[in-house]
Structure 1
Amino acid sequence: MWQQVTLSNLRFYQWRGASYLYRVVGLLQAWRRGSWLLQWAEPLGALLVAIVFAVAPFVSTALIGVLLIACAGFWLLLTVSDERERPQVTPIHLLVLLYWSIATVATAMSPVKVAARQGLVKLTLYLLLFALMARVLRSTRLRSWVIGVFLHISLIVSVYGIRQWFFGAEALATWTDTNSAAADLTRVYSYLGNPNLLAGYLIPAVALSLAAVFAWTRWLPKALALTMFVVNSACLVLTFSRGGWIGFVACLFVFSVLVVYWYSIQLPEKWRPWAMPAMLGSCAAVIILAVLFVEPVRVRVASIFVGREDSSNNFRMNVWAAVIDMIRDRPIIGIGPGNNAFNQIYPLYQRPKYTALSAYSIFLEVAVETGFIGLFCFLWLLVVTVNRGVQLINRLRTLRNPQGFWLIAAIATIVGMLSHGLVDTVWYRPQVSTVWWLMVAIIASYYLPPQADTSTAVQDS
């Protein structure tokens, strides 16, 4: 039953043979064979993806949108000119398509259709970016190259953030309760303009840089990766984003669990039962010591548990109450995707003086946009993605293939970003959303169809 729920045994080649939609694949196959440029199709796609991650922290969302349109157009060109026999579809792709279909229905039934259409266009661009990345990242070389570009850019972002900590940074908004003990803290935001957004951006950077310590083979790259991990982690902590800290801890916890699992088969048999308890105890000790002896950390953590006495907590609680009312009125299919649709409907429900641009929770945002149908599909997508990633980690662990550490980082990042997303929706900003779909695409890129020999290593495409 679990295999059926997680779509583990689907035979997509059978679907391809009967699908009218799939018949568009290969329409320009003859033209592609004669094209000199498309002989380099995958490297060109990886270049487009790398440009998105290289400029995202520094440019406007409008320019990022233009680049996403270019990525979408290039994926469409590759798809209609591809060989029909090449496996392109995974269970993750299927659920992404299902979620997009639900969002399309939500748009058609939205009370603010024009605004919802704008949100649907943005969602479509993100999903087509995912489709392009899942394709080009099948190559081990291109996967490492794209991840390397993101890590170098995140290092620049983190270095500038740490510089703000030492030399001061003007608060561009009221990020801390002025009545709290942490009111005078400098919260860094680097090039992203918001400490919560920066924290959401750095969670995947932390996980991928830590994975690079294991995945990169030479000592100099390993030293660079370790430097990236330390700098990214320090910058994330200095954002003093409580949601970011929750995501950071969840990310490192899952990463540690999976690394212990990875190396457990190499430990002496008498040590194996103690490996996981030792890791869990060490993690708990580090967190407890940080809370007890680092005053800024203690103050920020304590503010999580004071309820409405903290202005940020009180603000979120009032927004959540209004969003729950919105969901109650349209529980099945929601109001339609996008912040524009939310901004037009939310004022009808908001509490006085508590304006908001989003639901301040990923799961509430999904529910208010696409209803419980969309939320169910989103949760199904998460289950299938993480299950697929764990299966692939188990396979690569048996083969001792260090490429498995990118999967560990992807799963840890997904858990970390979702943990952060419980209390924030920076996930919907393009700088963060593109990285989220990179994590999903990394897992999808390792896919092997069920009929493939499970003893075969993941090969370069």
Structure 2
Amino acid sequence: MERATRLWRGLLLRDFPIESWWQGSLLSRVSGSLRSWGKSSLLVQTSDWIGLGLVLLYWVFSAQSSTGILGLILLAMAALVVLGWLVETPTWLPVHLPLGLFWGIATLATILSPVPYAAREGWLKLTLYLAGYLLLQRLLRQLQFRDWIVGSLLLVSLAMGVYGLRQYFYGAAELATWVDPESGLAGLTRVYSYLRNPNLYGGYLVPLVPLGLAAVFLWPGWGVKLLVGFTTAVNLLCLVLTYSRGAWIGGLAALGMMAVLLAQWHTPRLPARWRRWTVPTLLGGGAAALLLAILTVRPLRLRVRSLFWGRLDTSNNFRLNVWAAVLDMIRDFPILGIGPGNVAFSRVYPLYQRGNFSALGAYSVPLQLTVETGFLGSLAFAWFLLVLWDHGWRCWNRLLSSRDPEGLWVAAGLAACTGMMAHGLVDTIWYRPQVQMLWWLAVALVTAKLASSRTQPSSNSPRGKLLSPSQDCI
């Protein structure tokens, strides 16, 4: 039993000395000679503010369907991350080890891909996303930057939500066949705001609900709380009006997880006899309200019922055909897959497609991970999720026991990750630039707290003042 416990702790990297491992690496020794330059460089001194500006620009431009400029912003983010590595010791966490392994496997899958030139583009996107995540983690360790990052995102989502509600009340053009024309939902307005796709817009909104709930409880001032609460209500309403079944699944998972964590947070304030019934009552009441809405609102009822129509629903039938074809692709490329990216997928998929319809992806994140990077890549990413959840959950419980309000951001990150992965079971909008960086924002909210708990900023650091380290998450 003791041996099994040690193996489990080893798998979760709870005792992995990643700082010592990094200090002994070649890159650490090379960058050490540049750190004295970083202490006096104006570029390094202001790099975090530049990074903040890039993140804010990313939120603004991700509110539209065009994604070209987002790649340029990510490239600038990557340059800042590399600059930071050269002049300052990075804050590595155990969770970065499986993430680095996944990147390494994706690199090998690109080299050995049957379409290497197409896979190279997907590898570049993956690398830029990971660089964006590392920048977000660094910025979120600073309180004022975190408020700016989350606050600006919520303001952008409010503008998108207002336009989405306008589409619902005044109508919106169907830019594609979003609803089965032979079903009772023909002619239904599905809002998509500026993203021109209701499934993409729904996936965009899934992580914003727990972020908004955390901000309501954490940010001071009733004016701010009312604005954030109104924004969260608009986002939740627009999430429903997208009529995206996958986004509904993700939204329910995110909202349910956040509700449970908030109940845990507020339970100590309740009378002792009420505490044991808080979570069951909350979940039971939510389930009852959901069931009542399904029974009384016809479009909602028909949309939920279509989940169980099988191939009788055109969307279901299309996904089932895609999944079958993707399984054939995985059978032929099981170890390292075909290489990362939608371009590589679009080159290989026509050889396996069923029917006369092409597909942009596997319409399932686990299947997409496996077809792109094989079983090695999917297992590495599953390891990353397991370590992230374990470290994040233990951090949440320790912050909960110490009543540290910062724990609510960890809760929001965990809830957002849960919702996005639930949505990812039946769709791949997770890979779109507008949604992908929201995923890494949620991950960074968890790991930023872990990082700030493991490091103490030195007095001669070229960075701005960081969060005071807490012993809760060590």
TM superposition score normalised by structure 2: 0.92
Residue 450 of structure 1: CA displacement?
A: 8.5
Mapping 1:297-308, distance limit 5 Å? 297-308=300-311
Residue 399 of structure 1: CA displacement?
A: 2.8
Partner of 1:286: 289
- Counterpart CA distance in 1 for 2:113 and 2:135 is 29
**Match for 1:248 among 240, 246, 251?**
251
Partner of 1:386: 389
- What's the CA shift string for 1:140-199, capped at 9, x where partnerless? 221121111111111111111111001110000011100000111001111101000000
**Match for 2:124 among 111, 117, 121?**
121
SS of 2:269's equivalent in the other structure is coil
Structure 1 contact 107–336 (Cα < 8 Å) conserved:
yes
Does residue 18 of the first structure (1) align with residue 24 of the second (2)? yes
Partner of 2:370: 367
Partner of 2:203: 200
- Counterpart CA distance in 2 for 1:165 and 1:359 is 30
Mapping 1:201-350, distance limit 5 Å? 201-350=204-353
One-letter code aligned to 2:85:
T
- What's the CA shift string for 1:352-394, capped at 9, x where partnerless? 2131110000010001001111111111111111222212212
Structure 2 contact 102–377 (Cα < 8 Å) conserved:
yes
- Counterpart CA distance in 2 for 1:407 and 1:54 is 24
Partner of 1:457: 470
- Counterpart CA distance in 1 for 2:86 and 2:362 is 38
Q: After the TM superposition, which of the residue ranges 45-54 and 198-207 deviates more from structure 2? A: 45-54
One-letter code aligned to 1:91:
P
- Counterpart CA distance in 2 for 1:213 and 1:182 is 35
Partner of 1:77: 83
One-letter code aligned to 2:42:
W
Q: After the TM superposition, which of the residue ranges 26-35 and 169-178 deviates more from structure 2? A: 26-35
Mapping 1:50-89, distance limit 5 Å? 50-58=56-64, 60-82=66-88, 84=89, 88-89=91-92
- What's the CA shift string for 1:256-275, capped at 9, x where partnerless? 11111222233332222111
- Counterpart CA distance in 2 for 1:34 and 1:296 is 62
Structure 2 contact 140–146 (Cα < 8 Å) conserved:
yes
Mapping 1:3-152, distance limit 5 Å? 3-58=9-64, 60-82=66-88, 84=89, 88-152=91-155
Residue 28 of structure 1: CA displacement?
A: 2.1
One-letter code aligned to 2:50:
L
- What's the CA shift string for 1:269-310, capped at 9, x where partnerless? 222211121112112111111111111110100000010000
One-letter code aligned to 1:457:
S
One-letter code aligned to 1:165:
Y
Residue 437 of structure 1: CA displacement?
A: 0.8
Residue 249 of structure 1: CA displacement?
A: 0.9
- Counterpart CA distance in 1 for 2:268 and 2:365 is 37
Change (3 A) 1:78 1:375: same
- Counterpart CA distance in 1 for 2:24 and 2:95 is 20
Point out where structure 1 has 5 or more consecutive residues left out of the alignment: none
Change (3 A) 1:24 1:224: farther
- Counterpart CA distance in 1 for 2:316 and 2:454 is 51
TM superposition score normalised by structure 1: 0.95
- Counterpart CA distance in 2 for 1:339 and 1:418 is 19
Residue 54 of structure 1: CA displacement?
A: 2.1
SS of 2:450's equivalent in the other structure is coil
Q: After the TM superposition, which of the residue ranges 354-363 and 262-271 deviates more from structure 2? A: 262-271
SS of 1:271's equivalent in the other structure is helix
Structure 1 contact 399–457 (Cα < 8 Å) conserved:
no
SS of 1:323's equivalent in the other structure is helix
- What's the CA shift string for 1:205-248, capped at 9, x where partnerless? 11211111111122111111110111000111111101111111
- What's the CA shift string for 1:327-357, capped at 9, x where partnerless? 0111111110000110011011101213111
Give the length in aligned residue pairs: 455
Structure 2 contact 91–455 (Cα < 8 Å) conserved:
no
- Counterpart CA distance in 1 for 2:261 and 2:121 is 39
Cα RMSD after superposing both structures? 1.8
- What's the CA shift string for 1:101-159, capped at 9, x where partnerless? 01001111110000011110010000010111111111122112111111111111111
Q: After the TM superposition, which of the residue ranges 10-19 and 196-205 deviates more from structure 2? A: 10-19
Residue 429 of structure 1: CA displacement?
A: 0.6
Point out where structure 2 has 5 or more consecutive residues left out of the alignment: 457-467
Structure 1 contact 75–131 (Cα < 8 Å) conserved:
yes
**Match for 2:402 among 396, 399, 403?**
399
Structure 1 contact 155–231 (Cα < 8 Å) conserved:
yes
Residue 456 of structure 1: CA displacement?
A: 6.0
- Counterpart CA distance in 2 for 1:458 and 1:221 is 30
- Counterpart CA distance in 2 for 1:3 and 1:426 is 33
- Counterpart CA distance in 2 for 1:163 and 1:451 is 47
- Counterpart CA distance in 2 for 1:125 and 1:190 is 26
SS of 1:351's equivalent in the other structure is coil
Partner of 2:178: 175
Q: After the TM superposition, which of the residue ranges 91-100 and 105-114 deviates more from structure 2? A: 91-100
- Counterpart CA distance in 2 for 1:160 and 1:208 is 21
Structure 2 contact 453–471 (Cα < 8 Å) conserved:
no
One-letter code aligned to 1:76:
V
Does residue 443 of the first structure (1) align with residue 456 of the second (2)? no
Change (3 A) 1:376 1:292: same
Structure 1 contact 202–232 (Cα < 8 Å) conserved:
yes
